[in-house]
Structure 1
Amino acid sequence: MANLPSINIMIRLLFMQVIVILILFSLSGITAATCSMNYDNAVFENSTLSVSQNSNTQYLHDLAYDTWNCIAYYVDEKTGIPYDNSEMLDYNGNVIYFSECEDYFYQYGGGLDYKENASNCSCLGNHWGNQSDFVQYSINMSEDTDNLLFKIRYSDKFDSNNDANILRIYLDKELKGELFTKDTYDWDEFWWSDQIDMGCISTGMHELNITSENGGEWNCVNLDCFKLIDDWKNEWTGKNSENGAIITTSELQDAIHHWLDDIPVRGHIMSTADLQEIIVIWLSH
């Protein structure tokens, strides 16, 4: 008679085979996309939008749970990426906290800069980003949060005197990570950065600092706005989930249900890669 651990492994392998079949079946279905929107002059992401293709124009239409109107994008025929990078596709989890970068508590270096494509048409720039420039923000969290992600919208035009900038992000004087800017090709062309894991943040006031560590005297960057996002995985791995960071079988089944039916998870529509990530976490325990 097989022992219980062996039976458990066999069940998991069988379940994985079923999931693989479902994933392969889903690849022939209709896909969805998200887009950034300007709402009250602040840049957020809206809910997932259905997509229909007409020549090289990609029209995005609101679903029932959308609250904002959408617009049409002209996209690159090969990559499918919108030409207007100020509206480039971005992570669409729940925005827990949002701030304009020019609404700082204290800063050193640079100053207010007016850019047409910036949120509110203004940003922290005017040669901000030289070695040792920094900016400090006071953020007030209304409740304890699960793991949050940090993203910042910026512009950085590379040339012979200006290349990648290194931004260090601190929360309550603790270094949370570094961001390396990419060439946005124009000072009025703003892109969202990669994400940084900020961890759990408690209720109350906190200090968020951004420093420039580019090692050069004239290496500048424009900072438009930043946001703290509720990671969609917190639905099954957060402190208020069924078993904390460990994903249970019932939670995996719930994740599959959300994935199959395109049900938003904290504002995020799961992709096949997202489901695979959940499966890996489930298998690791």
Structure 2
Amino acid sequence: MSGEYEDKPQPLIEHLIELRSRLMWAVGAFFVAFLVCFYFAKELFNILVLPFKWAVSWAGISHRNVELIYTAPQEFFFTQIKVAMFGALVIAFPVIAQQIYKFVAPGLYKNERAAFLPFLVASPILFLIGAALVYFFFTPMVMWFFLAMEQGGGEGQVSIQLLPKVSEYLGLIMSLIFAFGLVFQLPVISSLLVRAGFITAQTLVEKRKYAIVIAFVAAAILTPPDPISQIGLALPTILLYEIAIYTARLIERQRAGATEKSDSDEEDVAQAPPSQEADNKA
């Protein structure tokens, strides 16, 4: 492969210059995206509040206005900065991933680059699937669970309503998105480890029972302390683990097929007559 992916020996200073160039492109893309997202930070935050509105409707209290509060003068300002950083990371990720690949690619063989590219494409797609699952299903379910604890203030009761702080609501939905997004990388990570020879499909099968326990423990740590979000993260994790086992078996079958084909070609060359062997070498 020609151009910027050529694997040519370079002195250390040239590697550092190349690294600086890639970092500048990545940081520049993030900074531009941050400025754009900060300008539209309130609109982006209103989009993130939509799952809360859906939960209010599911709880049968759609007559009530959806309200969030902030208790410190600077709280909503810093919340907007976090929203802008979150949006900038999502928008700039393709550029950042491209710069990482361009820096790493010259050190890879052609077949290694061909094997690495599908994972580079699959990773953001799987992350977005996990984020969409959080946005359209799990966040409304979690908020509905918390809204169910409200008191209407009838006879003998005080009125208790859920009024989340803007920073806490953003922290909740961001933690859920990152937790699910990272969990959905499990097939990608396991496939890379299988290709590198660090693990096998049999290893994944043997460790399945430990993986199930770890899935529930991780869900308890990464999600709010409610059973809906914890079970909602643990079950997809277990399903993705099974997908990782299936993917590992496919990779091992492809590798075995390629090895058999290579051995067969070598046997054909070894058994060929001298004249034919000379023709093959020619």
TM-score, with normalisation over the residues of structure 1?
0.24
Q: Which has the higher helix share?
A: 2
TM-score, with normalisation over the residues of structure 2?
0.24
Which structure's CA Rg is the greater one? 2
